[in-house]
Structure 1
Amino acid sequence: MTTPKVVIVGAGIVGTSLADELTLCGWTDVTVLDRGPLFATGGSTSHAPGLVFATNPSKTMTELASYTLEKFSSLSHPDGWCFNHVGGLEVATTETRWGDLHRKAGWAASRGVEYELLVPAQCAARYPLLDADRILGGLFTPRDGLAKAIRAVEAQAARAMSRGARFLAHQEVIDVVESNGAVRGVRTATGVVDADIVVCCTGFWGREFGRRVGLTIPLVPMAHQYAVTTPLESRAGANSALAEASLPILRHQDHDLYYREHGDRIGIGYYGHRPMPTDLSALDHNTTTSDADMPSKLMFTPDDFAEAWEQTIRLIPELGAGKVDDGFNGIFSFTPDGHSVVGEHRDLSGFWVAEAVWVTHSAGIARTVAEAMVDGTPSVDTHEFDLYRFDDAALDDDFIRTTSSQSFVEVYDVIHPHDQRAAPRRIRVSPFYPREVALGAEFWAPGVWEQPAWYETNQTVLDELVAAGMAIPQRDSWSARHWSPISVAEAAHTRSHVALYDMTPLTRLDVTGPGALDLLQRLTTNDLDKSVASVTYTLLLDEMGGIRSDLTVTRLAADAFRVGANGPLDVDRITRHLPPDGVTLRDITTATCGVGLWGPLAREVLAPITPTDLSNDGLRYFRCAQTTVGSIPVTLMRVSYVGESGWEIYTDAEHGLALWDLLTDAGRPHRIIAAGRIAFNALRIEKGYRSAGTDLTTEYTPDAAGLGFAIAMTKGDFIGKSALTSRDAPKRLRTIMFDDPTAVVLGKEPVSVGATVAGYVTSAAWSPTLGRCLAYAWLPADLDEGAEVTVAYQLATYRAAVAPDVSVDPSMSRVRR
């Protein structure tokens, strides 16, 4: 069997892991090139402390880390172990951290990671150097531990070479050879190495390498302090030279510190210092003859470490008799959102990227890339680290540098699910922004758009509802962050009156041309061959039938479609499948704007200012009209993501303020308000609507997610169709309702049936209609409606029951009235 010629640039932990994974799959024509020596090449792998902790806020990254540690455990090396399961111990010195460790324990429980929550005395028993009086407790994960990175590299390289791969040192890749939009190889100082596939695994040099092929790889090389102490008397003889460490890895995250043993010394890593972005042009990458002069190790800056040492001797008093014996500032890659950057260049076939990958996830990422290359579809959901997840506006130098610096600062911070980026802000605002500011909007910026979360001027609506008897439970300090009870009032007012929602950040694409219908039919699950003015809810699947995204597709003309998408990944997916001619794709998001006008009084607001017949016979549900509101040309879509009658109304951005003002004036007699994203989320969960990337990922099929109605198996072939009939669905996305009206969860909490953790929450909101918190959770498919479950939320445990999939208006009478 002939397999592609693969050139991997970079012989660190990622490139070597990939060579091992590819050759294991039978792709043996693999060449790995590195500008440095083999295998301490001078990159981040060469000095990495080797900490591997499986538990991560991301379910996918937890799985990849678990794969890495188990794989490295299975490796053999003549010099000794490649992975040492010393365990990991995170300690809390504040109540906030102690609550966060319970949250992490919940992640571990729902993902099959072994863990124990320990009281201070138990922590000290695991790590005798600790001052137990300074801590409140700890989280111990016994399977975590230390990777001996260079040994893991050498062991995997040996396996790859035994299958036919070759590794070449001191090979500076000068350029990527390409022809007709595809790679043909790489050019080095000594000649051209032919290739069908080139993979960039160059570590913190990745951004510079990407520029050679016109690709922005959003990462920043950042220096991170690491120091080694003088010997501790109590650890003399505790570790053999071979064993190196026996105490768990200790993380003191309240002060941005971690600790690992080096025989009778302690290595200390510190994230609490100022961000130190590195100028790669100042590095001499040719001086890699010894551990001391590798380019990824910069001179130690003691002043930056002063606070770290002070906090260290408080936690580990014995170190007060010693000092820092050696240290360096090691370079690692940081990205705007803290995730890796992985994928194939959209405009240069065969050029792949696997960057900003630390040792922790290295083998897992390598397996994922190998699966994508060999099988076409990886076995895990990849949207969190996909190369094309960022909006174009997030790919300028200032955004990448500023946000990556924030990622460094936040490595060990307690991150709330709704924490917002500090800077840069106001990158993109809708035309309605001035009016939203005037209404006291509290803005979130989950991407590059400013989005109102709630409006302070709606305090009067809240006061009225409370006076009328609505009880809004007091929240705990964690769930009350980035939240306001005003949002509950906004949701309730939408159900009883009418509200405006800013829909501008929704990605809007125009797909036109004689081949537009065939393209969209092939890409999506539902039948789009309907009459002009139809609106269809449909899904994008991967080749294995997993859900990549959901879309609304409006047929504006025979060969013209308006696609409502979820962001850059959807744009990338459609772009990659464009035929060479016959179809044009245009992203019109920034040139347009839109509002959702919803509520039982929406028709009373809109009917007097549009010539369109808004009756049920005039403009039916899931139909659209190109018309006017006042004198403003609009596209009017009768759809509702909040489960109330109304319309999404879109127009060119130049008309945005006029549209807002016109609707506001027309709605004033009907007590119209502007409402934010928190209310929007609560209403869509009441209505049983799912959110892509949160509730929906490629792990699950449409039927399992309760979206089988969006599948038209009778139409022609579409991506993922053949896999749907053979893929089992042991879990289903279920709605659960909490017994206690004061109970609130935020997402990712473990859900237990009896004493067994059986699933996890994806998203949740407090329902003003039912007076309870509602949540979606992936649970066993055979669990009956009404079944009792429990949800662990930090230090609390809440009772809940499996509820109907649609909690409010299952008959759809409200949206169709």
Structure 2
Amino acid sequence: MAGPQVVIIGAGVVGAALADELSIKGWDNVTLVDQGPLPEPGGSSSHAPGLVFQTTASKTMTELASYTVEKLCSLDVEGEPCFLQVGGLEVATTPARLAELHRRAGWARAWGVAAEVVDPDRCLELAPLLDRDQVLGGLHVPTDGLAKAVRAVQAQVTRAAGRGVRVLERTEVLDVLTEDGRVTGVATSAGELPAEIVVCCAGIWGQKVAGMVGMTLPLTPLAHQLAWTGQVPALAGQTEEALRPILRHQEADLYYREHFDQLAIGYYGHRPMPVGVTEILGVDDAEVMPSVQPFTEEDFAEAWRETNSLLPGTAGAKIEEGINGLFSFTTDDMPLLGESNQVKGFWVAEAVWVTHSAGVGRAMAEWLVDGHCSSFDLHACDVNRFEQHHLAPDYVVARGCQNFVEIYDIKHPLQPMEDPRPLRTSPFYQRQRELGGFFLEAGGWERPHWYEANAGLVDRDNWDIPVPNNDPNDWAAQYWSPIVGAEAQYTREAVAIYDMTALKRLEVSGPGAAAFLTRMCTSTVDKSVGSVTYTLLLDSDGGIRSDITVARLGRDQFQVGANGNLDLDWLTRHLPTGDADGSVAVRDITPGTCCLGLWGPRARDVLQPLTRDDFSADGLKYFRGRQTYLGNVPVTALRLSYVGELGWELYTTADMGQKLWDTLWAAGAEHGLIAAGRGAFNSLRLEKGYRSFGADMTFEHDPWETGVGFAVKADKPEFVGQQAALRRRDRVTRRLSCLTLTRPGATVLGNEPVYSPDGSVVGYVTSAAYGYTIGAGIAYAWLPAELSTPGTELRIGYFDSRLPARVAEEPLFDPKMTRLRS
């Protein structure tokens, strides 16, 4: 047998797909176990309506769906297909929804899915049941369609079994066995199954199975209504299951699919109905199946009225039956994939719907067999991405319910979580409120986007602050104020403080700390005390895991400026065992500390009088740090600037945070110090060309194509991913490129498609903002290498417009770094 001993718990569409994909890659020492009968074991897959709309704002989720479509189209069971590719149609009945459909069409094209916004007449041709007078247009995706979930389970399980995978149905999992922090097997009603790897694909039972190893999953099963009509007169005599596109009416939280001469109707407009995992019945106890609860007709009444209005032909039919079917929702609408950080060998693939099932199966198989996933970027799906408060039971249920309510809402890219808030506040919060801070949310932190106290700066005679994002409608201008532009320009001319507390901070310490970070980082970090280094963390395939800063504060003490909990997880997983590298500890110090960025040409005028240390250009050089006092406040000062101006990141303990603010505020009064928000920060960092992990670069990108190859030192001692990265250096076929929009005042939101002069899609936008210093909209985008030459003329799809743009030399501001080094 090939491969380690693997037990997959759950034989729904995800478990079946994973078993199949592992066997394709040559692992056949695999057991697939489920408590129910196959191919219909009783979980969400067994009742899923199967509608596959591929398009979302997430590139990863769209690609997972596209692979699912591709694979299921290739499968059948005794000649019966596993996918009915009838296409998908999303209709708009309001101008706001029509604008959103244009935006969705842009996402589809950006991620490689053919899509077209069609007029009402074409909508009627595609879906004759529609009321032509209500429809303003629709998004048509020809490759969408219906997944036959039970059939897909059967096809993939049969293929996997044919390659040697053992399949156990009607077998209940009683426990996951562990020893010394790693899995050893699974106890079942049919006996013990030895295992080196256990993968939980248990769906709505995921919390229960994960709990067997002490793992908390931020997952909530919620009931979702699905009903079937009797015969619809307009479909009478239809002998094929589905002939017309699956249909979505998101304005009313509805979707539809044909079932011969009937319609299935799915509804998200009812009250959230969360179900605790202990309330879900077992296979033998459920009347229909465990994932199906009794239909509550009163919750469906509005759905039926809206259906009769949009689809007048249904008025002659009636609802024959319905269910409240259970599906899994998470706190951030993304799946839960990856290995437990507490129990080695215990993996999860949870909160995955039929739409993405085969894609997740492939992704997990690559991750398990190859050590990384090469087909999809999984950074936003990694189960270890969450902060501790994200796992609180009340939070998990509240966010799951809210995501259910908002599932078809038109969401702005900056739209924050509204409840529960506030959760995490920096020591500066009260002062920020006094200044009229407009807060958005990041990782639970309240973070000002701008300050109303700066409204008077907007009318300065020498500043031209256009109002971006207001074409074609003012929806895009939400979460924007002209104050953003004023704060950005003021930072360039004077001085401002920025709250940087939300950024993750780690401490790496111990006798082996320098050796450990040398092995993990692409740059040389074993330098003198006071050194600060920009560096990368790479995966074994040379892809970027993160970009970080490493400040050496002592011989055996380093402070790491990280991007999130995944960096903590990555470093912790790679800690040395035994005494080979000496003892090393990695600790999250974010909750007990805080940070202010003090930046601008007058920053030194504010700072120097507060300390006896020399903060001149030579006294503390760029990318150097020092532990000092500002007045009575102990501070770690790092001479860094993410906005491209003279200044420092100033760290202190949380108890001294407000005193730090007040000390700087008092000292800055004579120099015109202001507080500035995240809106200005983002504009300034794009003018300077600084990348943002998670937006501009992710796991799928390497240093060379991203433009951060300077952080890879080929001649330093070996580091994780070194050889793989160096092999990729001369194979660059795409580049992260800076575009400026040539239409005055124009800007975009992010995730838009980029078109070549001949009209073909050639890339997509990552980050975007208006550059107030340069007087133009800025968009970073992934482009083919041959189109990344400065001066190349392109267009960016923005709603139903195509905005002219030009590839620019970068950085756009201060290319010689004179301001940073002043």
Normalised by the length of structure 2, the TM-score is 0.97
* Structure 2 Cα separation of the partners of residues 468 and 736 of structure 1: 26
Which residue number in structure 1 is paired with residue 30 of structure 2? 30
Note the 1:696-735 alignment, pairs <5 A: 696-727=697-728, 728-735=731-738
Secondary structure of 2:356's partner?
A: helix
Which residue number in structure 2 is paired with residue 408 of structure 1? 404
After superposition, the C-alpha distances for 1:114-160 in whole angstroms (9 at most, x for unaligned) are 12221000010011111111011011111110011000000000000
Give the Å deviation of 1:323: 1.4
Secondary structure of 1:815's partner?
A: coil
Which residue number in structure 2 is paired with residue 470 of structure 1? 464
Secondary structure of 1:254's partner?
A: helix
User: Gaps spanning 5+ residues in structure 2: where?
Assistant: none
Note the 1:33-432 alignment, pairs <5 A: 33-78=33-78, 80-238=80-238, 240=239, 243-287=240-284, 293-379=288-374, 380-432=376-428
Letter in 2 for 1:764: A
* Structure 1 Cα separation of the partners of residues 276 and 526 of structure 2: 54
Which residue number in structure 2 is paired with residue 761 of structure 1? 765
Matched-pair contact (CA < 8 Å) for 2:202–2:350: yes
* Structure 2 Cα separation of the partners of residues 193 and 109 of structure 1: 46
* Structure 1 Cα separation of the partners of residues 196 and 399 of structure 2: 34
Matched, 1:563 2:564: no
Letter in 2 for 1:747: G
Give the Å deviation of 1:53: 1.7
Which residue number in structure 2 is paired with residue 508 of structure 1? 505
Secondary structure of 1:428's partner?
A: coil
Matched-pair contact (CA < 8 Å) for 1:90–1:250: yes
Structure 1 residues 474 and 641, CA gap change in structure 2 (3 angstroms):
closer
Give the Å deviation of 1:386: 0.6
Matched-pair contact (CA < 8 Å) for 1:23–1:163: yes
Which residue number in structure 2 is paired with residue 691 of structure 1? 692
Matched-pair contact (CA < 8 Å) for 1:287–1:293: no
* Structure 2 Cα separation of the partners of residues 162 and 288 of structure 1: 32
* Structure 2 Cα separation of the partners of residues 653 and 568 of structure 1: 20
Matched, 1:812 2:809: no
Give the Å deviation of 1:469: 4.7
Give the Å deviation of 1:762: 0.2
After superposition, the C-alpha distances for 1:546-568 in whole angstroms (9 at most, x for unaligned) are 11211000011121110000110
Matched, 1:780 2:784: yes
After superposition, the C-alpha distances for 1:660-690 in whole angstroms (9 at most, x for unaligned) are 0000010011111001111100000000100
Which residue number in structure 2 is paired with residue 454 of structure 1? 450
Give the Å deviation of 1:283: 2.9
Matched-pair contact (CA < 8 Å) for 1:548–1:696: no
* Structure 2 Cα separation of the partners of residues 521 and 176 of structure 1: 37
Give the Å deviation of 1:204: 0.9
Note the 1:652-663 alignment, pairs <5 A: 652-663=653-664
Letter in 2 for 1:796: S
Letter in 2 for 1:225: Q
Which residue number in structure 2 is paired with residue 751 of structure 1? 754
After superposition, the C-alpha distances for 1:720-741 in whole angstroms (9 at most, x for unaligned) are 2111233322110111111112
* Structure 2 Cα separation of the partners of residues 349 and 409 of structure 1: 36
Give the Å deviation of 1:286: 2.9
After superposition, the C-alpha distances for 1:389-434 in whole angstroms (9 at most, x for unaligned) are 1111111011111111111111111111011111111111000000
* Structure 2 Cα separation of the partners of residues 584 and 724 of structure 1: 27
Structure 1 residues 38 and 471, CA gap change in structure 2 (3 angstroms):
closer
Give the Å deviation of 1:189: 2.6
Which residue number in structure 2 is paired with residue 443 of structure 1? 439
Which residue number in structure 2 is paired with residue 645 of structure 1? 646
Letter in 1 for 2:438: E
Give the Å deviation of 1:531: 1.0
Give the Å deviation of 1:474: 5.5
Structure 1 residues 171 and 474, CA gap change in structure 2 (3 angstroms):
closer
User: Gaps spanning 5+ residues in structure 1: where?
Assistant: none
* Structure 2 Cα separation of the partners of residues 544 and 280 of structure 1: 38
Matched-pair contact (CA < 8 Å) for 2:763–2:781: yes
Give the Å deviation of 1:471: 3.8
* Structure 2 Cα separation of the partners of residues 666 and 315 of structure 1: 64
Structure 1 residues 143 and 802, CA gap change in structure 2 (3 angstroms):
same
Matched, 1:532 2:532: no
Secondary structure of 1:666's partner?
A: helix
Matched-pair contact (CA < 8 Å) for 2:233–2:317: no
Which residue number in structure 2 is paired with residue 770 of structure 1? 774
Which moved further from structure 2: 753-762 or 684-693? 753-762
Matched-pair contact (CA < 8 Å) for 2:443–2:502: no
Secondary structure of 1:704's partner?
A: helix
Letter in 2 for 1:473: V
Identity of aligned residues (%): 53
Give the Å deviation of 1:301: 0.8
Secondary structure of 2:783's partner?
A: strand
Give the Å deviation of 1:453: 0.8
Matched, 1:801 2:806: yes
